[in-house]
Structure 1
Amino acid sequence: MSRLVLVLVLFSVVIVRGSVCSECYWNSKCSYELFATATPYDNIRGDLRDHAQDNDCKVISLWSLHRHGNRNPGVDVTRDVKELQHKIKLLLDVPDNRRSNNCYQDMDDLMKWRWNTTLENSTSYLTGVGYEELYQLGRRILMRYHDFVKSVDNAYFRATNSQRTEVSLAAYVRGLSDGDDTLNFTTAIDAPLQRDDVIRPYETCARYQDEVKNGQKVTEELAAYDTSAEFLAIRDRVQAKMFVDYKISSREVFTLYELCRFERSWDPKLRSPWCSFFTDQDLVVLEYRDDIRHYYRNGYGSQINLDLGAQAMKNLYETFVAASKSEQTTMVSYFTHDTMLEMVYCALGLFRDREPLKGSTRKANRLWRSTEFTAFASNFIAVLYRCSKSDEEELRVQFLINEKPTALCPEDGCAWQQFLNTFQVFSTAKLDFCGTNESGASHLSGRSDMKMNLASSLMILVMITSIL
């Protein structure tokens, strides 16, 4: 009797699991949601409003570094995606080609899908989804640090010279004021710099461009990934679901993945019929490819990346040291790209695996996961507090990554001396190893003194209007 009960229990588990996670994409209840650097922010973030507040502590400075929000694919990806989807759609026009290993409903959804021609004219532009990500973050910061934001003496904001970062900054500033006419932070927005050694030093660093970004290591590790057993198995499975009479390439598989992960991030239900070509395990393996690319292009794959990350940390250190000696409060926020955030985390020694990642073999339990720290709208926030305890004043520093505590400090923050011990090394950071001249692009000014030039103001206004 006991054996019969056990068999029935096991059978019922199989049925329940089968009903929840069927092989069809359209009705799957457990679709994988992590897509490396194209992951929506809400999929991985915490909520800084949930952290306990110490009534004996007052915020005197807030410094933050942000990645732009959700964007359109870049020029190369857009071109590849357009070509591949057009090829597949032409094949689907032939009824016999629809008899693939895909589920009928998934095939129906593919047939109904239409190419968005605006993508070709707005490559890498911030999307409406991305605008909302930064707007809501600004609102949460206002709610969490309300007294500080409403009375801050000096504010300074700057983005890199790109549409997606400038409009992300505009969304963030709008969220910080959240309809309060007395909070006008637009005057604190500085115009982008043609050369920005604080938040984009890698662009003008000759050694980085030659040895890292365009070096052989990234190419070699990606080639090793593309010939790994796991990836080749994915290619075979996708081939079986496709309707082509030729051997699909590794590039086409990843292009299909790009179409899947970008297109689903814009859908209100976070679904895309293009993801039906992959199993959840396929998506886990494909996520690793981005991690390999970013590890060697922006991460621990080169000491140059660590040295470049020191520039932003020098700015943070100088900002907090100045605030610790001042009676005025300061707020500094920069808007940049995943490259800069990853370099900063490397400079701080975060997310470092004992052994380097390899393209040939996926490390499932790795620390370096771009999904977790450089998804769209990812951020690094540092908060300096002045606390009054036992008739003595002390300074404390709290760090958050994507609104969650970090390994740098306990949740309630580090003592001031701990901060100095960790960050003082960045005070002498230079870019002379790059073979280029330093521009000295570091600023912190009062809100009343900061003016955005007219051209930038008009450009951001046009961009926001086009998104909304």
Structure 2
Amino acid sequence: MRLILSIVLLSYLNYVTPLFCYWNTGCPYRFFGTKTPYNMVRGDIRDSLVKLTDCEPVSVWGLIRHGKMNPSGDYVKQMKDAMFIKDYVASSYEHGNSSLCAQDVESLQNWTPDKGLFDKDSQLSEEGYQEMVGLGKRLRKAFSKLLEQLSTQDYTFRSVNEKVGQDSIKGFVEGFGNKVQVEPPKSGYDSILPYATCGKYIKDVKHNNDSIAEAAKYQASSEFLASKDRIQRRLGIDNSLSEANYIAIWDFCRFTSSGINNKFSPWCALFTTEDLKVMEYADDLREYYSHGYGTPMNKLFGEIAMAELLKSFRNVKEGNGKKIEAYITRASTMEMVYAALGLFKDASPLPGNARKSDRKWRTSKFAGFASNLIAVLNKCGKKESDDYNVVFYLNEEPLRTLCKEGVCTWKEFEDRLAPFLNTNLDFCEFTVPPEHSK
């Protein structure tokens, strides 16, 4: 009887004793899917610049996702609805029902929303603006000789027709330092957001639940439900959390963590590292089927954007091009471009019935806020028969999977992208206003 009593007591103690304390953990998990702050995953192009013998950069082309933004309407509603959890956690801890650490509970209780989190719906946050300023500064510094003096015909800076994008390009050119002009956004079709006017995409993907079927399957899986139950137990809350509450907690964690300040949100303390990996996978599934390899037409949209890159560098070779072109777009376009280039492709489609932990498709690493794909055209040799090569950078690190050591010969570059010049959107069937794709 004494043995049985001891086992019961130990079980109880294991339940209320913290497994770990988030506030002083050495290395918090920082991968939050498409809402990952840029500074948590970026490199520094000034340090990682590929330097080639007898070559000099003659043109830079960049496709960049907008900076960190405040949550949009649906996110805001769910997050506001979940604010009650903050008080529940404190009450539960006081009654000895929570396995959270005292400091983590206190930090959550002291937390208040930053200005703009809820009342500046879908707008660029201050951190997002600083992400773009920093990227502009580093890019100009890395290619200072090329970009030191720019006349109006030497550059193009443009954003998609959205306020978050337009504010992002302002931050980018501010960091760039030169007094340059931003080209007005296009009101209709735009090659850097080609799916936005495609009726077939809007009908068959955007407004079709089939595109999120695998994510829904995963959210009904034993692993996802076990994670939800684990959080419920850690918090010591009597009433069951709804799925919307569960997701809202994660949104609090990722929207209110800062890469600029290297500061993680106290909301993240409600998750274990394993729980965060579960949430990340659910996000990856949604993106994979909505914007990645899971839907064949996505690759075609990416080819449209990459055809623009090829045309740009061909113009430079012919003496009519730009020293720099930079375009601000959405995460969706970034993912479509990766699909067009064959990047981060798994051997088989991502399954919804079980998490694929060793997957290549990790949006945290390539489609977070301010994520970017930079291509640099280098001119080599000093003879009339000059040679050219192209180096790609992903989030300011050399992209080594496209070509050997990350350096593509002009032939390799052209052979890969030239077929994209024939890509068209005839399959779209009908066009829609771009705002319908939001």
Question: Which residue of the partner structure matches residue 301 of structure 1?
Answer: 294
Q: What is the RMSD computed on CA atoms of the aligned residues?
A: 2.3
Q: Does 1:184 align with 2:179?
A: yes
Separation in structure 2 between the aligned mates of residue 202 and residue 40 of structure 1, nearest angstrom: 25
TM-score of the pair, normalised by structure 1? 0.83
* Residue in structure 2 matching 1:68, options 45, 66, 69: 66
Aligned residue runs from structure 1 range 361-372, under 5 A? 361-372=354-365
Cα separation, partners in 2 of 1:299 and 1:426, compared to 1, 3 Å: same
* Residue in structure 1 matching 2:142, options 128, 144, 156: 144
Tell me if structure 1 keeps the 8 A contact 2:59–2:324: yes
Separation in structure 1 between the aligned mates of residue 112 and residue 50 of structure 2, nearest angstrom: 47
Cα separation, partners in 2 of 1:387 and 1:205, compared to 1, 3 Å: same
Unmatched 5+ stretches in structure 1? 1-20, 178-182, 440-468
Q: Does 1:397 align with 2:390?
A: yes
Aligned residue runs from structure 1 range 374-389, under 5 A? 374-388=367-381
Question: Which residue of the partner structure matches residue 359 of structure 1?
Answer: 352
TM-score of the pair, normalised by structure 2? 0.88
Matched letter for residue 427 of structure 1? L
Unmatched 5+ stretches in structure 2? 1-17, 434-438
Q: Does 1:26 align with 2:23?
A: yes
- % same residue: 36
Cα drift, residue 430 of structure 1: 1.1
Corresponding pairs, count: 412
Separation in structure 1 between the aligned mates of residue 330 and residue 228 of structure 2, nearest angstrom: 30
* Residue in structure 2 matching 1:201, options 194, 197, 203: 194
What secondary structure sits across from 1:118 in the alignment? coil
Q: Does 1:321 align with 2:326?
A: no
Separation in structure 1 between the aligned mates of residue 45 and residue 115 of structure 2, nearest angstrom: 38
What secondary structure sits across from 2:386 in the alignment? strand
Q: Does 1:409 align with 2:409?
A: no
Question: Which residue of the partner structure matches residue 37 of structure 1?
Answer: 34
Separation in structure 1 between the aligned mates of residue 382 and residue 115 of structure 2, nearest angstrom: 60
Q: Does 1:49 align with 2:41?
A: no
Tell me if structure 2 keeps the 8 A contact 1:91–1:97: no
Tell me if structure 2 keeps the 8 A contact 1:77–1:255: yes
> Could you list the per-position Cα deviations for residues 213-237 of structure 1 after superposition, in whole angstroms to 9, with x for gaps in the alignment?
2223233212211111211111111
Cα drift, residue 318 of structure 1: 1.0
Matched letter for residue 165 of structure 2? T
What secondary structure sits across from 1:158 in the alignment? strand
Matched letter for residue 84 of structure 1? A
Question: Which residue of the partner structure matches residue 160 of structure 2?
Answer: 160
> Could you list the per-position Cα deviations for residues 381-414 of structure 1 after superposition, in whole angstroms to 9, with x for gaps in the alignment?
1111111168851011111111122211234621
Question: Which residue of the partner structure matches residue 280 of structure 1?
Answer: 273
Cα separation, partners in 2 of 1:56 and 1:417, compared to 1, 3 Å: same
Tell me if structure 1 keeps the 8 A contact 2:373–2:394: yes
Matched letter for residue 184 of structure 1? K
Question: Which residue of the partner structure matches residue 12 of structure 2?
Answer: none
Q: Does 1:421 align with 2:415?
A: yes
Tell me if structure 1 keeps the 8 A contact 2:32–2:254: yes
Cα drift, residue 274 of structure 1: 1.2
Matched letter for residue 262 of structure 1? F
Separation in structure 1 between the aligned mates of residue 96 and residue 264 of structure 2, nearest angstrom: 21
Tell me if structure 2 keeps the 8 A contact 1:300–1:352: yes
Cα drift, residue 193 of structure 1: 1.4
What secondary structure sits across from 2:319 in the alignment? coil
What secondary structure sits across from 2:256 in the alignment? helix
Question: Which residue of the partner structure matches residue 350 of structure 1?
Answer: 343
Separation in structure 1 between the aligned mates of residue 172 and residue 83 of structure 2, nearest angstrom: 34
Cα drift, residue 340 of structure 1: 0.4
Structure 1 window deviating more from structure 2 (104-113 vs 296-305): it is 104-113
Cα drift, residue 329 of structure 1: 4.2
Tell me if structure 1 keeps the 8 A contact 2:67–2:370: yes
Tell me if structure 2 keeps the 8 A contact 1:310–1:344: yes
What secondary structure sits across from 1:60 in the alignment? strand
Separation in structure 2 between the aligned mates of residue 404 and residue 114 of structure 1, nearest angstrom: 35
Tell me if structure 1 keeps the 8 A contact 2:198–2:431: no
Question: Which residue of the partner structure matches residue 58 of structure 1?
Answer: 56
> Could you list the per-position Cα deviations for residues 164-217 of structure 1 after superposition, in whole angstroms to 9, with x for gaps in the alignment?
21111111111112xxxxx321x2x11111223311122211111111122232
